Amino acid sequence: MKADARNNRKNHRASRDYARLALSGGILLLAIALGIGALSFPVRLRIFPLFSLIVVSLLAVIDLGRLLRSSAIDYHPQEVATHSDPSGQTSRRDEVTQDPREDYSATSSIVAISWFLGFMILTFIGGFLLAIPIYIVAFMRLQGRLSWKVTLITLGITWAIVYGGFVVFLDQRVYGGILFG
């Protein structure tokens, strides 16, 4: 019975890993194809799509690496105790351990969607340059429970990339929201 449950979990995990692997690989291939297509744009117009596609490609490669590395890890039951049966023989009991990658639930999906919708609403009202720092601080401190140091370093790097990349380097006007637009 335990072996069947273990095999079912292993098969479910493997099929989910293959689906995530296919999704990340598909995103990478799509980004490469769109990048090749963007090369035919005039120089001024191709900068933004290429910049975006490079970021998406890097994230897809990182995700592929994580998936390939984590699927090589095999989760084994841990020995928890020995006990004696009525005949006096000692046997081992194994505890069925939960794969940490199986801890995703509907509530975690709802939380992720809520954070995304919160960012979209904040962007709609206050614009990108206001929404980004508020969202990063709120998400990293409330959801990620990270230190102020890590949060502020991440905020500074992210905001510098967005502001420096779009406003300064690309000379693009970013969405200002209802308040500042």
Q: Is 95 helix (H, G, I), strand (E, B) or coil?
A: strand
How far, in Å, are 77, 105, 123, 141, 152 from residue 64 at the CA level? 26, 22, 30, 27, 28
DSSP H or E segment with residue 93? strand 90-95
For residue 2, what are the contacts with CB-CB under 8 A and spacing of at least 6?
Answer: 94, 96
pTM over 0.85: no
Chain segment 36-86, per-residue pLDDT in tens: 888 888 887 777 777 778 887 887 788 888 878 776 544 444 444 455 555
For residue 83, what are the contacts with CB-CB under 8 A and spacing of at least 6?
Answer: 90, 91, 93
Report pLDDT for 95: 47
